[in-house]
Structure 1
Amino acid sequence: MPVEKVEALVVGGGQAGLAMSEHLSRAGLSHVVLERARIAERWRSERWDSLVANGPAWHDRFPGMEFPDTDPDAFPEKEKVADYFVAYAQKINAPVRCGVEVTEVRRLSGQQGFHVETTDGTFEASFVIAATGAFQTPVFPKMVPDTAGVFQLHSASYKNPGQLPEGGVLVIGAGSSGTQIADELQQAGRKVYLSVGPHGRPPRSYRGRDFVWWLGVLNKWDAEATPGVEHTTIAVSGAEGGKTVDFRRLAEGGMTLLGRTAGFENGIMRFQPDLKKNIEDGDADYLALLDEADAYVERNGLDLPVEPEAREIGPDPVCVRDPLLELDLKKEGISTILWATGFERDYGWLKVDALDETGAPKHQRGVSSEPGVYFLGLPWQTRRGSTFIWGVWFDAKYLADHMSKQRGYMIYESQAEKA
């Protein structure tokens, strides 16, 4: 099979890969997007059945296309989000090839560019863009042995309550995924325990505006990366039309809140004594945003309704006042542990000097330390919003502009060379 040559090769056909394709086309760079499964596959097969977008349709989209047949203030279902990306790929005529996995990328010997091995042949490209994002491989702690007699799964494998064996469920991780799944399980009649770590807890809406609007006008989406901070757990939900996550309310409904998971031994799960602090720190984050929003309204003379009830913080439930530090899984009838513990990166196919000793990308704003290699869709790549649909679109433009400049240098010939 002959080698196929392109100027840019994009690895990944999700939101990052499609955003990159649009800007590469605008820059006149020939390219191909390789996706090992289907466009936006993770939305279809690696998320639970009832998942909806965490942001409203007017906000969580690309600038060039709205969600069809969707209320702008609604939170689209996961299948509708995946369909949106398929339609967008058609709209921009993105050269996506599905069912093609990239197995190895190496720098060409003695010349510019890269040699790319895939399951459907070999490519050579001047630029390679890793658009697989940071949420690639589920983090599944090996804390509880298989012999413990409890069913374990990661949130990426969870579909619905009926998938789990009868009995109680311990959900470890109280970010958006863990909190929404725990809430769904409780509404399905399960006894639920939720391990809560440090988190941000914004209001779903305040004074008639969704929190994504507030983060926008307060310039928080454009906050630049903080050294050492890759990802901040945030508890927010678009479920049931969108609602503010309130851990005290979940506890009032029968859920038992626990501190961060510390370990397991002889059937006993142990937890750190940090639950009250984690809840209170989340409250402080919540109230601080309300303060900033109120100040913005007053400063700009906006006619937005006051909402004093938003500042009402209920009393601590018993599980917060007197937290459990140990949990006997068998005694409490817990049959399932669901790990909502996030994902880790996997760039094992990238055989160039673009990663540090931990396997993390070495980059500035997505431009790799290896000339010609780029990353897209990373948390805090350029700003807080980098991993969101609209945020990755703007990051892709920056990378395409950078490649255009580099192409200009690469094709330069001096007068002496032309002679």
Structure 2
Amino acid sequence: MPNEETDVVVVGAGQAGIAMSEHLTAAGVPHVVLERHRIAERWRSERWDSLVANGPAWHDRFPNMEFAGVDPDAFATKEQVAEYFAAYAEKFGAPVRTGVEVTSARRHEGRPGFRVETSEGAIDARFVVAATGPFQRPVIPPIVPEDAGPLQLHSSGYRNPAQLPDGAVLVVGAGSSGVQIADELRRSGRRVFLSVGAHDRPPRRYRGRDFCWWLGVLGLWDMETPPQGAEHVSIAVSGARGGHTVDFRRLAEDGVELLGMTASHRDGVLGFACDLAANIRAGDEKYLAVLRQADAYVRRNGLDLPEEPEAHRLGPLPESATAPRLELDLAEAGVSTIVWATGYSADYGWLEADTFDERGRPVHKRGIAAEEGVYFLGLPWLSRRGSSFIWGVWHDARHIADHIATRRSYLAFDGADRTAPAPADDAQH
């Protein structure tokens, strides 16, 4: 039986794959989208029960469809987000095949394109788009041995407080996942420790506007290069309980014991870096920097937005920061569970292409890989700060679709047609 043929194979049907399919469809490019589970599966089954989007519904969406039944200023639940992408794909008839796993993609010998092997047979394609995003393989640092005593799980495996054994919980990680899980566990009556590393802490709202709006008008979403050392810094922001600014001082007041970065383990005792105060202050400075830029923008443009002088007053550091605990005996503290909210790594084991660096990271320019015919989509800072966000991935996908359409035009040239294909934009060549 001959292999199936198409122009583009898109691997992954999350927000990146659906955005890619929309733009390829609009450009008339034949393609398939392969997804080993369901559309937006990670939103469905790899997040905790109470998770909501971190941005309001007016912002965290694609341009051509609003969320159904969600107030624009509200934060969609994870189920609503997953159903949004499924409905969006149906809206334009995205050629998504669910339950199909891609096992390998390798370049043909002596002719253009790739052989894509899947659980349902092989597909020959001229182009391959890796739209699997940044959240592929949960990372748990090799600090605490598996047999040390407490249950250890990644935040992707956490669902709700009732899932965990009785006892105290240590949450490692101060990004959105870590702070929201720690807060939920404390509200359920648990004793909670939170290990806080470097983080970015923007205001949820300021002067009546959400931080997503402020980052937009201030041009911060369009930053093309992350600040030095901030490529993988966690963002502590929350849409939980209607949305609120993450405040480590408030978490401490509510009973969460703050710790520095988790550094070591020996004989049931965890060691922590003496960096808690510095980490909180660095997050404070990033928070205040946004407020200062917002105030300057209001003055410069004569906007009638209410002042919030109290937002600039942070108060003293909690005692856990000024007199930090540097060790924690897990058994003595009654810690029965460690939740590692420590992020993810990429997994491109299926993609056999010469476009990865010595650490296995994709080598690309705005998603266009060093290996001809390969593209990446949905990665942080792919082209700008907003690239891994729902609206940002949509714009990146349009750029990649334009690049593919232009390449197809050149490849279709047979010498008879003297009309040169027009480049989609100057950045493609």
Which residue is 1:51 aligned to? 51
The CA distance in 2 between the partners of 1:105 and 1:26, in whole Å, is: 25
Residues 1:416 and 1:4: Cα distance change in structure 2 (over 3 Å): closer
Which whole-Å deviations, capped at 9, do the CAs of 1:313-359 have from their partners, x for residues lacking one? 12211101100110000011111110000000000000111212211
Q: Is the 8 A contact 2:143 2:263 kept in 1?
A: no
- State the one-letter code of the partner of 1:370: E
Deviates more, 1:61-70 or 1:222-231: 222-231
Q: Give 3-state SS (helix, strand or coil) of 1:148's partner.
A: coil
Backbone CA RMSD of aligned residues: 1.2
Which residue is 2:4 aligned to? 4
Q: Is the 8 A contact 1:268 1:327 kept in 2?
A: yes
Deviates more, 1:354-363 or 1:372-381: 354-363
Which residue is 1:65 aligned to? 65
Residues 1:317 and 1:228: Cα distance change in structure 2 (over 3 Å): closer
The CA distance in 2 between the partners of 1:35 and 1:60, in whole Å, is: 22
Which residue is 1:303 aligned to? 304
Which whole-Å deviations, capped at 9, do the CAs of 1:260-314 have from their partners, x for residues lacking one? 1111010110000000000001111011100000000010011111111111212
Percent identity reads 64
Which residue is 2:391 aligned to? 390
Which residue is 2:425 aligned to? none
Which residue is 2:367 aligned to? 366
Which whole-Å deviations, capped at 9, do the CAs of 1:107-157 have from their partners, x for residues lacking one? 011000000000011100011000001110000122111221111000000
- State the one-letter code of the partner of 1:332: A
Which residue is 1:162 aligned to? 162
- State the one-letter code of the partner of 1:49: D
Which residue is 1:117 aligned to? 117
Q: Is the 8 A contact 2:39 2:98 kept in 1?
A: yes
Give yes or no for the alignment of 1:264 onto 2:270: no
Residues 1:123 and 1:321: Cα distance change in structure 2 (over 3 Å): same
Which residue is 1:405 aligned to? 406
The CA distance in 1 between the partners of 2:386 and 2:294, in whole Å, is: 19
CA-CA distance at 1:229 after TM superposition: 5.1
Which whole-Å deviations, capped at 9, do the CAs of 1:34-78 have from their partners, x for residues lacking one? 000000000000000000000000000000000011100000000
The CA distance in 2 between the partners of 1:146 and 1:375, in whole Å, is: 34
CA-CA distance at 1:415 after TM superposition: 5.0
Unaligned runs of 5+ in 2: 419-429
Q: Is the 8 A contact 1:185 1:192 kept in 2?
A: yes
CA-CA distance at 1:413 after TM superposition: 2.1
Which whole-Å deviations, capped at 9, do the CAs of 1:152-210 have from their partners, x for residues lacking one? 00000000000011110000001000000000000000111000011110000000000
Deviates more, 1:208-217 or 1:145-154: 145-154
Q: Normalised by the size of structure 2, how large is the TM-score?
A: 0.96
Which whole-Å deviations, capped at 9, do the CAs of 1:232-271 have from their partners, x for residues lacking one? 2110000000000000110011111011111101011000
Which residue is 1:134 aligned to? 134
The CA distance in 2 between the partners of 1:177 and 1:92, in whole Å, is: 33
- State the one-letter code of the partner of 2:190: R
Which residue is 2:183 aligned to? 183
Q: Give 3-state SS (helix, strand or coil) of 2:199's partner.
A: coil
Which whole-Å deviations, capped at 9, do the CAs of 1:80-119 have from their partners, x for residues lacking one? 0000001000001100000000000010110000000000
Which residue is 2:249 aligned to? 248
CA-CA distance at 1:213 after TM superposition: 0.2
Q: Normalised by the size of structure 1, how large is the TM-score?
A: 0.98
The CA distance in 2 between the partners of 1:218 and 1:66, in whole Å, is: 24
Q: Give 3-state SS (helix, strand or coil) of 1:264's partner.
A: strand
The CA distance in 2 between the partners of 1:323 and 1:245, in whole Å, is: 20
The CA distance in 2 between the partners of 1:415 and 1:87, in whole Å, is: 43
Q: Is the 8 A contact 1:60 1:390 kept in 2?
A: yes
CA-CA distance at 1:414 after TM superposition: 2.5
- State the one-letter code of the partner of 2:99: G
The CA distance in 1 between the partners of 2:66 and 2:211, in whole Å, is: 20
The CA distance in 1 between the partners of 2:51 and 2:270, in whole Å, is: 29
- State the one-letter code of the partner of 2:196: V
Which residue is 2:150 aligned to? 150
Q: Is the 8 A contact 1:151 1:335 kept in 2?
A: yes
Residues 1:406 and 1:165: Cα distance change in structure 2 (over 3 Å): same
- State the number of aligned residues: 417
The CA distance in 2 between the partners of 1:11 and 1:312, in whole Å, is: 47
Give yes or no for the alignment of 1:353 onto 2:368: no
The CA distance in 2 between the partners of 1:229 and 1:13, in whole Å, is: 28
- State the one-letter code of the partner of 1:341: T
Q: Give 3-state SS (helix, strand or coil) of 1:284's partner.
A: helix
The CA distance in 2 between the partners of 1:416 and 1:41, in whole Å, is: 45
Which residue is 1:232 aligned to? 233
Which residue is 2:422 aligned to? none
The CA distance in 1 between the partners of 2:305 and 2:231, in whole Å, is: 34
Q: Is the 8 A contact 1:192 1:255 kept in 2?
A: yes
Q: Is the 8 A contact 1:49 1:159 kept in 2?
A: yes
Q: Give 3-state SS (helix, strand or coil) of 2:75's partner.
A: coil
Which residue is 2:421 aligned to? none
The CA distance in 1 between the partners of 2:146 and 2:363, in whole Å, is: 36
Which residue is 1:319 aligned to? 320
Which residue is 1:222 aligned to? 222
Deviates more, 1:344-353 or 1:143-152: 143-152
- State the one-letter code of the partner of 1:298: R
Q: Is the 8 A contact 1:231 1:380 kept in 2?
A: no
The CA distance in 2 between the partners of 1:49 and 1:186, in whole Å, is: 16
